[in-house]
């Protein structure tokens, strides 16, 4: 095959091969012949047209990369952008560059601010529509930087103290270091973190992730996230993330946010927020204040907070600095979830809900649909106004020092006592191990409507559950392991005289502990106890919650059974000759005494004032 230039007037290039082939007209410029294998047969030859960054001189293909430096434009950022225009270019800011007018970079311009370089806006607005890469330099000025294209930067300062940043940037995470945060345990990072929050807020990009690095970020002023106006929830979908501990409660080389300021609400005050997520952070007090974190709404025109979650978070103070209120106080909040976390160094771990009288007239105060999973609590939990609360796989543990931390661990506090639907599933109530004389109560509840305790363990408390008041939704306690072997007469369930509900007391593995006092209880036969030989009116309180059998080991005539509960059923088994008297406190079949002999049984039902026979068996000889 030969390529020939024919001699006719059109100066065409022909492919000489059997007299047929392509004809290329004169391009009128330096070009390189190119074989296009994807073209149709007979049309494969064409001229190579240079694209972006390419040019042809004679027989040479030239490759150029469009770059520029602000130092080549007398450090004038405006002039550089105007001169480059729409030509795809990378502009390096390699010196102290200034602006004298508003500037909007085109999408075809990549701006790289090098270490040692800077852009001073001079009060003029700067908008970047192309890629902005910060490689150690900064942008500052009493104006607004609007980032509408991608932003790339490491964990170092890129914005000065005066610049306001907004726009619709394309990025994965935001670093508080961009605004000057230094996690050295000394520098107050409040301004940097609050500016990062504003950046992801309604006046900024409207949501995003603020990522913290290793070290301790000191916060000298409460980080308040409050709606722009009442009746809206405009701080939405914000995540605060850190580098979590290598093991539970070991936060060396991890992320710590430490509050040292004067505000009573501590580190975070979240008002009318939605979709706020914390993960892999330790948050602690470096000064004694009311709360570490508060979540809720402050007046009747504000919406409640919704969907607030904490994953792998440490809530704590220190041995020297503990909250006077609670590490976490949540009210006017729906769908709070905390998982794989712990609460340490606080007499009160959480306050759930708020009483009417404590809200400056704010109606509501409830916290609802809250779930707590796999959490260690070392301080108490106060229920004020709470609905549908679930604790699953949690441990409630008093400190192991000489003085227990709190008493009780869980309580309904004075005030409204308006709590409904509380469940403890697979939890461990763990007092001070080995305490020979425990004096503490694990759970003290009053006027709680609906309580479920299942699959839990209880040990080393004097009293497990102290129930009082109207529990109209009923109580179901079953399938638990109880080992309250220390102290004098430990009680698993103590029912106060004003208790007005019903307890479904299913099977519980009672290594040690009892049920006492007054209630209507339903369950089945589990345990055989022996009465004191010489007691004419033996107590049957340990049979509350069971159809329980008692063994009569003595011969003293029985005239009554003390401490019975309405609806309670007991069965007594004689081991020798003994008489049960009829007519005063016990009403027997045939209105006559029952002279029992060994192996005889008698079943009685307590009606509130008297015992009534329901069955007997004469098994003796």
Higher pLDDT, 189 or 52: 189
pLDDT score of 195 more than 60 = yes
Give Cα 247 to chain centroid, integer Å. 18
pLDDT of residue 64: 63
Each residue's pLDDT tens digit, 530-568: 676 788 898 887 655 555 677 888 889 999 998 888 888
pLDDT score of 487 more than 60 = no
pLDDT of residue 517: 41
Judgement on whether residues 200 and 344 belong to the same structural domain of the protein = yes
Where residue 220 sits, what CATH number does that domain have? Answer: 2.160.20.10
pLDDT of residue 411: 79
- The percent helix, strand, coil of the chain (3-state, each to 5) is 5, 45, 50
Where residue 591 sits, what CATH number does that domain have? Answer: 2.60.120
pLDDT of residue 10: 47
The domain boundary residue, chosen from 15, 32, 63: 63
Among the ranges given (115-119, 149-153, 535-539, 540-544), the one the predictor scored with the smallest mean pLDDT: 540-544
The domain boundary residue, chosen from 392, 416, 436: 392
Instruction: Write out the two tokens for 76.
Output: 């004038």
Judgement on whether residues 58 and 176 belong to the same structural domain of the protein = no
3-state secondary structure string, 545-588?
Answer: CCCEEEEECCCCCECCCECCCCCCEEEEEECCCEEECCCCCEEC
Closest to 66 measured CA to CA, from 77, 48, 76, 51: 51
Strands 126-128 and 13-16 turn out to be unpaired
pLDDT of residue 518: 39
Would you place residue 472 in the very low, low, confident or very high pLDDT band (cuts 50, 70, 90)?
low
Global pTM exceeds 0.85: no
Rank 13-22, 138-147, 392-401, 453-462 by mean pLDDT and report only the highest: 138-147
In a domain? residue 304: yes
Each residue's pLDDT tens digit, 366-396: 888 999 999 998 888 888 888 899 999 999 8
Would you place residue 210 in the very low, low, confident or very high pLDDT band (cuts 50, 70, 90)?
very high
Judgement on whether residues 58 and 179 belong to the same structural domain of the protein = no
pLDDT of residue 289: 75
Higher pLDDT, 106 or 473: 106
Among the ranges given (158-162, 468-472, 534-538), the one the predictor scored with the smallest mean pLDDT: 468-472
Instruction: Write out the two tokens for 508.
Output: 């519980």
Please give the average per-residue pLDDT across 105-111, as a whole number: 95
Please give the average per-residue pLDDT across 31-40, as a whole number: 78
pLDDT score of 524 more than 80 = no
Higher pLDDT, 505 or 285: 285
CA distance 444 to 465: 6
Would you place residue 439 in the very low, low, confident or very high pLDDT band (cuts 50, 70, 90)?
confident
Rank 49-63, 205-219, 385-399 by mean pLDDT and report only the highest: 205-219
Higher pLDDT, 66 or 163: 163
pLDDT of residue 16: 46
Please give the average per-residue pLDDT across 394-412, as a whole number: 64
pLDDT of residue 8: 47
Judgement on whether residues 321 and 199 belong to the same structural domain of the protein = yes
Higher pLDDT, 27 or 490: 27
pLDDT of residue 512: 47
Among the ranges given (455-459, 476-480, 590-594), the one the predictor scored with the smallest mean pLDDT: 476-480
In a domain? residue 231: yes
Rank 122-131, 507-516, 566-575 by mean pLDDT and report only the highest: 122-131
CA distance 522 to 506: 8
In a domain? residue 134: no
The answer to whether the beta carbons of residues 124 and 141 sit under 8 Å apart is: yes
The domain boundary residue, chosen from 34, 63, 92: 63
pLDDT of residue 6: 46
Among the ranges given (258-267, 505-514, 566-575), the one the predictor scored with the smallest mean pLDDT: 505-514
pLDDT of residue 507: 55
In a domain? residue 314: yes
The answer to whether the beta carbons of residues 177 and 199 sit under 8 Å apart is: no
pLDDT of residue 215: 93
pLDDT of residue 14: 52
Judgement on whether residues 387 and 260 belong to the same structural domain of the protein = yes
In a domain? residue 537: yes
Question: Kindly report the CA angle at 91 between 89 and 94, in degrees rounded to 5?
Answer: 160
Among the ranges given (137-151, 400-414, 424-438, 531-545), the one the predictor scored with the smallest mean pLDDT: 400-414
pLDDT score of 17 more than 50 = no
Longest Cα–Cα distance of the chain, Å, equals: 144
In a domain? residue 513: no
Each residue's pLDDT tens digit, 291-341: 889 998 766 666 778 899 999 999 987 666 777 778 999 888 889 999 999
Each residue's pLDDT tens digit, 44-53: 778 777 765 6
Judgement on whether residues 176 and 50 belong to the same structural domain of the protein = no
pLDDT of residue 228: 63
pLDDT of residue 301: 63
In a domain? residue 148: no
**Share above pLDDT 90 across residues of the chain, in percent, rounded to a whole number:** 36
Higher pLDDT, 55 or 522: 55
Compute the mean pLDDT over every residue in the chain, rounded to the nearest whole number: 80
Judgement on whether residues 176 and 321 belong to the same structural domain of the protein = yes
Q: Prior bond to 575 cis, omega within 30?
A: no
pLDDT score of 526 more than 50 = no
Higher pLDDT, 426 or 289: 426
| Residues of the domain holding 360 | 172-392
CA distance 32 to 162: 54
pLDDT of residue 594: 94
Q: Count how many domains the chain has.
A: 3
pLDDT score of 238 more than 50 = yes
Return phi, psi of residue 70, to 5°: -65, -25
CA distances (Å), origin 134, targets 91, 115, 153, 155: 12, 8, 5, 10
pLDDT of residue 471: 59
In a domain? residue 180: yes
Closest to 615 measured CA to CA, from 565, 560, 572: 572
């Amino acid at each position: 095959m030969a390529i020939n230039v024919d001699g006719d007037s059109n100066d065409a290039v022909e492919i000489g091969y059997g007299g047929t082939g392509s004809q290329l007209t004169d391009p009128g410029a330096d070009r390189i012949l190119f074989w296009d294998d994807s073209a149709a047969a007979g049309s494969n030859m064409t001229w190579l047209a240079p694209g972006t960054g390419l040019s042809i001189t004679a027989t040479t293909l030239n490759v150029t990369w469009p770059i520029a430096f602000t130092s080549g434009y007398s450090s004038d950022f405006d002039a550089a952008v105007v001169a480059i225009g729409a030509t795809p270019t990378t502009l390096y800011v390699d010196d102290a560059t200034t602006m004298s007018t508003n500037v909007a970079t085109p999408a075809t311009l990549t701006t790289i601010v090098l270490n040692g370089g800077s852009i001073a806006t001079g009060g003029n607005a700067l908008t970047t529509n192309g890629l902005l890469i910060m490689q150690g330099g900064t942008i500052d000025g009493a104006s607004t930087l609007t980032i509408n294209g991608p932003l790339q930067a490491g964990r170092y300062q890129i914005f000065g103290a005066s610049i306001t940043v907004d726009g619709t940037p394309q990025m994965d995470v935001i670093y508080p270091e961009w605004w000057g945060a230094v996690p050295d345990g000394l520098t107050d990072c409040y301004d940097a973190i609050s500016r990062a929050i504003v950046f992801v807020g309604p006046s900024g990009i409207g949501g995003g992730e603020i990522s913290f690095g290793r070290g301790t970020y000191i916060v000298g002023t409460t980080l308040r996230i409050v709606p722009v106006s009442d009746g809206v929830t405009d701080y939405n979908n914000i995540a605060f993330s850190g580098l979590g501990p290598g093991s539970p409660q070991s936060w060396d080389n991890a992320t710590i946010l430490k509050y040292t300021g004067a505000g009573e609400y501590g580190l975070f005050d979240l008002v009318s927020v939605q979709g706020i997520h914390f993960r892999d952070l330790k948050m602690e007090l470096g000064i004694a204040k009311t709360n570490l974190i508060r979540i809720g709404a402050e007046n009747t025109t504000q919406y409640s907070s919704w969907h607030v979650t904490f994953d792998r978070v440490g809530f704590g103070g220190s041995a020297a600095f503990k909250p006077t209120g609670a590490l976490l106080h949540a009210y006017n909040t729906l769908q709070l979830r905390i998982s794989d976390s712990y609460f340490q160094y606080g007499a009160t771990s959480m306050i759930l809900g708020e009483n009417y009288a404590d809200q400056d007239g704010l109606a509501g105060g409830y916290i609802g649909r809250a779930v707590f999973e796999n959490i260690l609590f070392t301080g108490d939990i106060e229920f004020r106004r709470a609905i549908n609360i679930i604790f699953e796989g949690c441990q409630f543990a008093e400190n192991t020092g000489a003085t227990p931390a709190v008493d009780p661990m869980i309580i309904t506090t004075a005030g409204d006592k308006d709590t409904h639907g509380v469940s403890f599933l697979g939890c461990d109530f763990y007092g001070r191990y080995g305490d020979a004389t425990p004096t503490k109560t694990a759970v003290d509840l009053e006027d709680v409507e609906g309580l479920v305790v299942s699959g839990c363990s209880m040990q080393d408390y004097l009293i497990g559950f102290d129930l009082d008041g109207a529990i109209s939704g009923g109580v179901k306690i079953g399938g638990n392991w109880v080992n309250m072997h220390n102290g004098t007469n430990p009680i698993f369930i103590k029912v106060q005289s004003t208790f007005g509900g019903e307890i479904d007391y299913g099977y519980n593995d009672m290594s040690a502990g009892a049920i006492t006092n007054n209630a209507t209880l339903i369950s089945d036969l589990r345990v055989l106890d022996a009465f004191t030989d010489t007691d004419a009116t033996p107590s049957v309180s340990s049979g509350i919650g069971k159809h329980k059998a008692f063994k009569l080991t003595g011969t003293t005539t029985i005239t009554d059974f003390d401490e019975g509960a309405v609806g309670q059923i007991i069965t007594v088994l004689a081991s020798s000759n003994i008489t049960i008297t009829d007519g005063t406190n016990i009403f027997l079949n045939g209105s006559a005494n029952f002279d029992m002999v060994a192996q005889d049984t008698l079943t009685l039902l307590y009606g509130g004032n008297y015992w009534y026979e329901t069955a007997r068996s004469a098994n003796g000889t």
